[in-house]
Amino acid sequence: MSLLSGKKILLGISAGIAAYKTATLVRAFIKAGADVKVVMTPASKDFITPLTLSTLSKNPVHSSFTNPDDDNETWNNHVELGLWADLLIIAPATANTLSKMAHGICDNLLLATYLSAKCPVYFAPAMDLDMYKHPSTLESFRALQSFGNIMIPATSGELASGLVGEGRMAEPEDIVSFIENDILSKSPLHGKKVLITAGPTHEAIDPVRFIGNHSSGKMGFEIAKAAANLGAEVILISGPTHQKLSHSFVTIIPVTSAEEMYNAAHTYFKTVDIAVFAAAVADYKPKIAATEKIKKKEKTLSLELEKTKDILASLGHIKEKQFLVGFALETNNEIENAKGKLKAKNLNLIVLNSLKDKGAGFKSDTNKVTLIDRNETITTFDLKSKEAVAVDILNAIINQLHA
């Protein structure tokens, strides 16, 4: 999964020969999981057709303020386009378009959209080498960067004029990596390592049977995904679940029993900055797991259970710099019990789930949580998707790290 996955990207194309490469650029954004819309200057249509771009982006392509073919002459709302985008990339950005952007001229839809956009703006210049070096162009670069726009520098090579020098638009795959790296470097968890436990554990009774619980693992997997999307390097220790996650920043360590989860957590804990324990670890396991399948000879069967090791508590007692987050699933006296666990396990934050709340807990796709920090500040959230709850939890962690 790329950091561009789920992002709304608005691609603005101005009239340079490099416009032919935007077909590849749109494909690369789509492959990264982004939602892409294209705005073209009228003259850029001489270099690549709107049909090619609308087919690849799966969205209509706009190049004028109105749609003349439409009987009602509908208006293309540049403000809406600008506000829709999570990021705007102007590629190729010609000397003419860059100069107009620098001076607030908006005599086409792309320029009006640029002026309306509130999102990060990237521009990838493309022009002949002497134009690229001209003081007027350099002044445009300077002005746009002073507005906070981000330049993806042109490269050197053969130009359309036949001359060789600086001015070639960066290659589409390099534009994608540039943007991904830029987003990563600004992500709040960039450079942080996060350990997450998720799912149930299975405690063997014999080779074919186990004691388990109904945890789906969804909450932990959503936290792992959200942490990775915020730039963290994630180690996800997961008990047996059907959850899937493929993200270049996430390493999944599959385990089965509480003992295996304990060992894996202790292996990685020393190296991490943040640890979030969302797993529903079995509190007891059979004292002896039979080596052969237990036959149904007897009328009753008793299993002797013994306590598993409390992974979270054991790490709470050895933690140094780590920010440690635990979960508490309670049915009564919720706040007091959660506060007790926060202290007993030496946590920085505890996420309380009350089974009294409808839609909270193990199997559902939603959750309702209350966060309690070390100062006993209590923050209660509404019922939300587990995806949204994961973001709330990580934002709370980030706020506390910066407090």
Provide the annotated binding site for CTP. Answer: 283, 293, 327, 341, 345
Residue 92 preceded by cis peptide, ω within 30: yes
Among 89, 101, 312, 352, binds ligand CTP (CB under 6 A): 312
Which parts of 210-269 interact with ligand CTP (CB under 6 A)?
258
Which residue do the tokens 């416009």 mark?
A: 19
Instruction: Give yes or no for a contact between 82 and 116, defined as CB atoms under 8 angstroms apart.
Output: yes
Among 12, 200, 326, 361, binds ligand CTP (CB under 6 A): 326
Instruction: Give yes or no for a contact between 13 and 19, defined as CB atoms under 8 angstroms apart.
Output: yes
Which parts of 109-148 interact with ligand CTP (CB under 6 A)?
none
* 308 belongs to the binding site for ligand CTP (CB under 6 A): yes
CB closer to ligand CTP, 310 vs 373: 310
The pair phi, psi for residue 262, each rounded to 5°, is -60, -50
CB closer to ligand CTP, 98 vs 223: 223
Of the candidate spans 114-122, 153-161, 304-312, 370-378, the one that interacts with ligand CTP by CB under 6 A turns out to be 304-312
* Nearest approach, Cβ of residue 75 and ligand CTP (Å): 53
Beta strands at 8-13 and 35-40: parallel, antiparallel or unpaired: parallel
* 192 belongs to the binding site for ligand CTP (CB under 6 A): no
Name the residue among 305, 321, 108, 327 with its Cα closest to residue 197.
327
213 classed as catalytic: yes
Angle at 257 between CA 251 and CA 260, to 5 degrees: 55
Among 98, 237, 279, 349, binds ligand CTP (CB under 6 A): 279
* 341 belongs to the binding site for ligand CTP (CB under 6 A): yes
Among 283, 365, 376, 382, binds ligand CTP (CB under 6 A): 283
Of the candidate spans 15-23, 96-104, 266-274, 308-316, the one that interacts with ligand CTP by CB under 6 A turns out to be 308-316
Residue from 213, 263, 337, 346 carrying the catalytic annotation: 213
Name residues whose C-beta falls within 8 Å of residue 297's C-beta, 6 or more positions apart in sequence. none
* Per-position b or e across 211-225, b if 16+ CB within 10 A of its CB: bbeebbbbbbbbbbb
Residue spans of beta strands (DSSP E) within 103-181:
121-125, 150-151, 155-158, 164-168
Binding site for ligand CTP (CB under 6 A): 197, 258, 277, 279, 281, 283, 308, 310-312, 326-329, 341
